[in-house]
Amino acid sequence: MAALNALDRHLALTGYMGSGKTTLGVALAEQLGRPFVDLDAEVEQRTGASVAELFAERGEAGFRVVEEAIAGETLSASTPTVLALGGGAVLSESTRGLLAEYAFTVLLEVDTATAWDRVHTSERPLAESAERFAALHRERQPLYEAVADARASDADGVMLAAAGVHVERGAIDLLDELVPGDGSVELVADAHVAGIHGVRAQVALGARNAAQHEVPAGEAAKTLTVLERLWSSLRLERDGTLVALGGGTTTDVAGFAASTYKRGIAWVPVPTTLVGQVDAALGGKTAIDIPGAKNLVGAFHWPARVVCDPTLLETLPEEERLNGMAEVVKTGLLAGQELWTLPEPELVRRCAAYKAGICLRDPDDVGIRNVLNLGHTFAHALEAAAGFDLAHGRAVALGLLAAMRLSGQRDAEATVRDVLRPEPARVDLDQAWQALLLDKKAAGGRPRLVLLDGPGEPRWNVDLPEAEIRAALRELIA
């Protein structure tokens, strides 16, 4: 079975000469905080000779012996890397076997004409004739496809694939092939979402669809009572998959159920809201609420795949779309890019790729993943004080406003106001403050915040005076 993601595995880039493996590999390694290994460069460093010189001195067969040895050493190492394979590295049966065992391999797709334009003026020994170059591409393509766990054409595509995230218009109709494995599937949705998209999902799953389960809409789904009811109604075997169709609350409770049922079964979120597609369904966090605290009980359980179909957003009411835009603005501020200005399908893809990279780098939320909490310390406190009757997006918009004020980022504060139009929440200040002190990121009984030093420059675990934080919270309350 093909690897599902690059968690705890090397991320290997394969493809023909000129497909961009080195260029993209450098950028991806920086995003993921992993060492970058360019196989050709490593061969040159170890031997003290260029690839062209090695071909001239030892012939292609001699070069391949060295290449195979270094590829094997890299792939057998325990520290996950981003590895750019040479165009002919997949000729080795040994290398192909190690890729299957230790790597998540992405094929960078390139047409022959583009590849030739990129490399024909280089000193590559196999790029001397356009005809031979094209023939070699045709010969190797089946090997590239055989080792590939996924295909991509740019950095965002690689990052999404590496995290097991599939973004495509109409993807809901491909669920049978997108849900990994061949075991039975049970579907979880609230009544409203099931009425709109449920039949379409069931038809797509075909004979694999064994049962449907209903959960309440909104935060009412994220309770122990609902979770117990879901546990009791599931009939999946260990090779089965739970598919969560809906917004962030549905994916939260269904993912938590999957993480604990029979000590863990596979699950696939199919988010139907903007907040779900750009944030909530990504990264493997699952949780339910307890009285007075949001998402305090949960588990990390990485999905077998996330299926994001932007066409499902076409039925969203404007208020729900605005809720999702709060997470889009958050992502844009963190990335230092105006992602909120993009057309919706591209907006989903770019936001999902950004979060995928952060979560792959820090899957257990012990480091840089903390930046995704920007604005959420205040937001979760307001939601809890409102008895979870305050829309998450509205709460996040207020939380971003407070975070930008405390960061001294006036332009970003203006963006939050202009794009999200936050309105003060009608909650009790003392209740909100007590909820804020229960935040998961608090340390030693003191809140820890995420602030922004500038566009794309987040700082986390920030300890500010209590009076300053409380004053910022007060400004969010009507």
- Is 125's pLDDT higher than 90? no
Separation between Cα atoms, residue 306 and residue 244, nearest integer Å: 10
Beta bridge partners of 110: none
| 206 vs 126, more confident | 206
Report which residue type is found at 212: Q
Cα-flanking dihedrals φ and ψ of residue 200, to 5°? -60, -40
**Band (469; pLDDT cuts 50, 70, 90):** very high
Length of the chain equals 478
Interval 436-456 mean pLDDT: 89
Predicted confidence (pLDDT) per residue in 207-241, tens digit: 999 999 999 999 899 999 999 999 999 999 999 99
- Is 24's pLDDT higher than 90? yes
Separation between Cα atoms, residue 345 and residue 168, nearest integer Å: 8
Separation between Cα atoms, residue 382 and residue 423, nearest integer Å: 12
pLDDT of residue 444: 82
Among 120, 108, 187, 94, CA closest to 144: 108
User: CA end-to-end span of the chain, whole Å?
Assistant: 55
pLDDT of residue 388: 87
Among 165, 377, 168, CA closest to 279: 165
Which of the 8 DSSP states describes residue 345?
H
pLDDT of residue 216: 96
Here the tokens at position 119 are 């490399």
Interval 365-387 mean pLDDT: 95
Helices vs. strands in the chain: H and E counts, helices first: 20, 15
Separation between Cα atoms, residue 248 and residue 449, nearest integer Å: 23
CA quadruple 455, 458, 459, 464: dihedral positive or negative? Answer: positive
Instruction: Determine what percent of the chain is predicted with pLDDT higher than 90.
Output: 88
pLDDT of residue 229: 97
- Tokens 């997006």 sit on residue: 393
- Is 69's pLDDT higher than 90? yes
pLDDT of residue 122: 80
Those residues with Cβ within 8 angstroms of residue 102's Cβ, 6 or more apart along the chain or in another chain: 9, 10, 75, 76
Kindly report the number of other CB atoms within 10 A of residue 228's CB atom: 11
Predicted confidence (pLDDT) per residue in 99-111, tens digit: 999 999 999 999 9
Predicted confidence (pLDDT) per residue in 34-49, tens digit: 999 999 999 999 999 9
Q: Domains in the chain and their CATH numbers?
A: 10-162 (3.40.50.300), 166-316 (3.40.50.1970), 368-474 (1.20.1090.10)
Paired sense of beta strands 285-290 and 293-300, if any: antiparallel
Cα-flanking dihedrals φ and ψ of residue 271, to 5°? -70, 135
pLDDT of residue 150: 97
For the chain, the average pLDDT equals: 95
Beta bridge partners of 265: none
Q: Are the C-beta atoms of residues 11 and 103 closer than 8 Å to each other?
A: yes
Query: E-strand spans in 85-218?
Result: 103-108, 150-152, 165-167, 185-190, 209-215
Q: Are the C-beta atoms of residues 183 and 241 closer than 8 Å to each other?
A: yes
- Is 440's pLDDT higher than 80? no
Among 42, 116, 35, CA closest to 72: 42
Those residues with Cβ within 8 angstroms of residue 349's Cβ, 6 or more apart along the chain or in another chain: 156, 160, 167
The DSSP result for 236-286, as a single string, is --TT-EEEEEESHHHHHHHHHHHHHGGG--EEEEEE-SHHIIIIITSSSEE
pLDDT of residue 355: 98
- Angle, nearest 10°, between helix axes 130-147 and 93-102? 40
Separation between Cα atoms, residue 123 and residue 39, nearest integer Å: 17
**Band (28; pLDDT cuts 50, 70, 90):** very high
**Band (292; pLDDT cuts 50, 70, 90):** confident
Interval 316-331 mean pLDDT: 94
pLDDT of residue 236: 97
Which of the 8 DSSP states describes residue 293?
E
**Band (271; pLDDT cuts 50, 70, 90):** very high
pLDDT of residue 452: 97
pLDDT of residue 301: 97
- Is 471's pLDDT higher than 90? yes
**What is this structure's pTM?**
0.94
Predicted confidence (pLDDT) per residue in 377-404, tens digit: 999 999 999 998 999 999 999 999 999 9
- Maximum CA pair distance of the chain? 78
